[in-house]
Amino acid sequence: MAKRVALILSGCGVYDGTEVHEASAVMVHLSRAGAKVQMFAPDIEMMHVVNHCEGKPGTEKRNVLQESARIARGDITDLAKLEVSAFDALVIPGGFGVAKNLSDWATKGKDYSITPEIEKVIKGFHQAKKPMGMCCISPVLAAKAIPGCEITVGHDCECEKWPYAQVAKTMAELGSKHLNKNVGEVHVDSKNKLVTTSAFMCNAPIHEIFDGVGVMIKEVLKLA
């Protein structure tokens, strides 16, 4: 029987929403594995809208659910309607929407919180002992909802290849166990059924990120 996977988006575009290449990689690998996917996003206003040519926020207001529908080709559901019992697994790709629309990591750093909706969903899958896959920055959501969990966001030593290594250090400071992994690798927290990978936290060729996301999906479906 096909595995049923809930995929949570946080907008459309790396600087203010879901990282489009990560979302596409997730969907391709799930499709290849024969999984049945339903996409969700919160029906809330975005923190801000970023001009992706300039990397600067403007004054326009947009809605997370409506922007996420661009990736979902219109077939998307309000996150408030997600029922854990209807799915075998959960996947959350990265992008700054995770840090801006699903949490306030982007503005508060280690003092961040996650939205009540996303906390409810993650805790629901965790309590039901159903696997979750998170890539790029999205493991920070698990770190808050599942204290003490094991994650990877890549490496904890900053360099040209790993420009966001400080995130790994902060996760460790907050009580999660961070494991250094390369872009094509994942970490599987068997106790919490949590699979994480770095994706675009690494300055790597896009095909390597695609392949790393594929390993994450494979491991999530093994646990489902």
Q: What is the pLDDT of residues 144-203, one digit of tens each?
A: 999 999 999 999 999 999 999 999 999 999 999 999 999 999 999 999 999 999 999 999
pLDDT at position 193 is 98
Contact present, 5 and 30 (Cβ < 8 Å):
yes
Contact present, 81 and 42 (Cβ < 8 Å):
no
Measured CA to CA, the distance from residue 204 to residue 218 in angstroms comes to: 21
pLDDT band at 107 (very low <50, low <70, confident <90, very high): very high
pLDDT at position 212 is 98
Q: What is the pLDDT of residues 34-75, one digit of tens each?
A: 999 999 999 999 999 999 999 999 999 999 999 999 999 999
Mean pLDDT of 198-213: 98
Partners of residue 197 on adjacent β-strands: 135
pLDDT at position 54 is 96
**Mean pLDDT value across the chain:** 98
Q: Write out the catalytic residue numbers.
A: 136
Place of tokens 């999906």: 217
pTM score:
0.98
